Amino acid sequence: MKITKFRTGDRKTALECGFPVVEISQVAEQESWRKEINRPIYHIHKWWATRLGSVFRAITLGALSKPDVDVWSEFYKVQDFKGKVVLDPFMGSGTTLGEALKLGAKAVGSDINPISTFLVRQAFTHVSENKLREAFEKLENSVAVEIKRYYVTKDPETGHSIPVMYFFWATIVVTPDGEEVPLMSRYVFSQDAYPKKKPRAQIVCPACWSIFEGRYDSAEISCPHCEFIFNAQQGPASGQKVTDSFGREYKIKSLLPADGRPLKQRLYACLALKNDGKKVYLSVTDEDRQLFASASERLSREELPLPTSVVRPGHNTDQARGYNHTTWKSFFNDRQLLCLGLLLKEILLIEDFEVQEQILCLFSSTLEFNNLFCSFKGEGTGAVRHMFSNHILKPERTPLENSIWGTKKGSGTFSSLFESRLLRAKRYLDDPFEVLLTHDTDGNRTGSVKTTASLPIRPKRVDTWEELASVEKSALMVINGNSAKLPIPDSSVDAVVTDPPYFDFVHYSELSDFFFAWLSPALRERYEWLSRQDSSDPGEVQQKDPRAFGRQLSLVFTECTRVLKGDGVLAFSFHHSRPEGWAAIYEAITQAGLVVINAHAVHAELRGASPKSAAKDPISLDAILVCRKRDSLSADDQIAKKDVAFGIMSEAERLQSAGLKISLGDKFVIGAALVLIEKSKDRLSFDEIAKELHVMQENLRSGSPLIIGQIELAL
Please check the confidence at residue 84 and state whether its pLDDT lies above 50: yes
Lowest mean pLDDT among 240-244, 383-387, 413-417, 700-704: 700-704
Averaged pLDDT, 146-164: 96
Instruction: Write the CA distances from 186 to 68, 170, 227, 398, integer angstroms.
Output: 61, 11, 18, 10
For residue 56, give the nearest of 9, 23, 24 by alpha carbon. Answer: 24
Q: Torsion over CA of 364, 501, 57 and 45, rounded to 10 degrees?
A: 0
Rg, Å, the chain Cα set:
27
CA distance 522 to 308: 12
Q: What is the pLDDT of residues 533-579, one digit of tens each?
A: 999 888 888 777 889 999 999 999 999 999 999 999 999 999 888 99
Mark out the alpha helices in 592-663 (DSSP H runs): 644-657
CA distance 701 to 452: 44
CA distance 190 to 201: 6
**pLDDT score, position 634:** 67
Lowest mean pLDDT among 161-175, 431-445, 498-512, 628-642: 628-642
Tell me the DSSP string of 318-384.
HHHHHTT--BGGGGS-HHHHHHHHHHHHHHTT-S-HHHHHHHHHHHHHHHTTSSTT-EE--BTS-SE
CA distance 520 to 447: 44
pLDDT top residue among 56 and 681: 56
Tell me the β-bridge partners of 602.
Answer: 622
Please check the confidence at residue 624 and state whether its pLDDT lies above 90: yes
Tell me the β-bridge partners of 569.
Answer: 495
What pTM did the predictor assign? 0.93
Residues 454-473 as b/e (b if ≥16 CB within 10 A, e otherwise) read bbebebeebeebeebeebee
Lowest mean pLDDT among 219-228, 266-275, 496-505, 593-602: 496-505
CA distance 454 to 437: 17
Tell me the β-bridge partners of 595.
Answer: 628
Q: Torsion over CA of 358, 363, 369 and 372, rounded to 10 degrees?
A: -150
Tell me the β-bridge partners of 498.
Answer: 572
Please check the confidence at residue 639 and state whether its pLDDT lies above 80: no
CA distance 204 to 282: 10
Lowest mean pLDDT among 165-174, 178-187, 244-253, 506-515: 506-515
Please check the confidence at residue 606 and state whether its pLDDT lies above 60: no
Averaged pLDDT, 373-394: 88
Residue 637 pLDDT level (bands cut at 50, 70, 90): low
Helix H or strand E segment including 552: helix 546-563
Backbone angles phi, psi at 285, to 5 degrees: -115, 175
CA distance 72 to 92: 26
Pairing of strands 85-88, 493-498: parallel
Lowest mean pLDDT among 92-101, 354-363, 397-406, 408-417: 408-417
**pLDDT score, position 4:** 39
Q: Which residues contact 17 (CB under 8 A, 6 or more apart)?
A: 2, 4, 11, 67, 598
**pLDDT score, position 659:** 83
Lowest mean pLDDT among 220-229, 277-286, 474-483, 628-637: 628-637
Residue 505 pLDDT level (bands cut at 50, 70, 90): low
Amino acid (1-letter code) at residue 648: I
Amino acid (1-letter code) at residue 435: V
**pLDDT score, position 316:** 87
Pairing of strands 706-708, 711-713: antiparallel
For residue 409, give the nearest of 272, 602, 544, 502 by alpha carbon. Answer: 272
Q: For the chain, what's the residue count?
A: 715
Question: What is the set of domains in the chain, with CATH numbers?
Answer: 8-122+448-507+542-713 (3.40.50.150), 133-425 (no CATH)
CA distance 675 to 6: 18
Amino acid (1-letter code) at residue 644: V
Tell me the β-bridge partners of 249.
Answer: 243
Instruction: Count other C-beta atoms under 10 Å from residue 1's C-beta.
Output: 23
Is the dihedral angle over the CA atoms 177, 183, 188, 190 positive or is it negative? negative
Please answer whether residues 321 and 382 qualify as being in contact, where contact means their C-beta atoms are separated by less than 8 angstroms: no
pLDDT top residue among 643 and 495: 495
CA 543 to chain centre: 19
Q: What is the pLDDT of residues 660-715, one digit of tens each?
A: 888 999 999 999 999 999 888 888 999 999 999 999 889 888 876 554 443 444 34
CA distance 622 to 499: 10
Pairing of strands 106-111, 475-480: parallel
CA distance 198 to 380: 10
Please check the confidence at residue 304 and state whether its pLDDT lies above 80: yes
Burial of 686 (0-12, 13-18, 19+ CB in 10 A): middle
**pLDDT score, position 710:** 39
Is the dihedral angle over the CA atoms 23, 24, 29, 34 positive or is it negative? positive
Mark out the alpha helices in 110-263 (DSSP H runs): 114-123, 129-141, 143-148
Average pLDDT, the chain: 91
Please answer whether residues 201 and 188 qualify as being in contact, where contact means their C-beta atoms are separated by less than 8 angstroms: yes
Q: Which residues contact 704 (CB under 8 A, 6 or more apart)?
A: 698
Q: What is the pLDDT of residues 425-472, one digit of tens each?
A: 999 999 999 999 998 888 888 889 999 999 999 999 999 999 999 998
Residue 504 pLDDT level (bands cut at 50, 70, 90): low
**pLDDT score, position 473:** 87
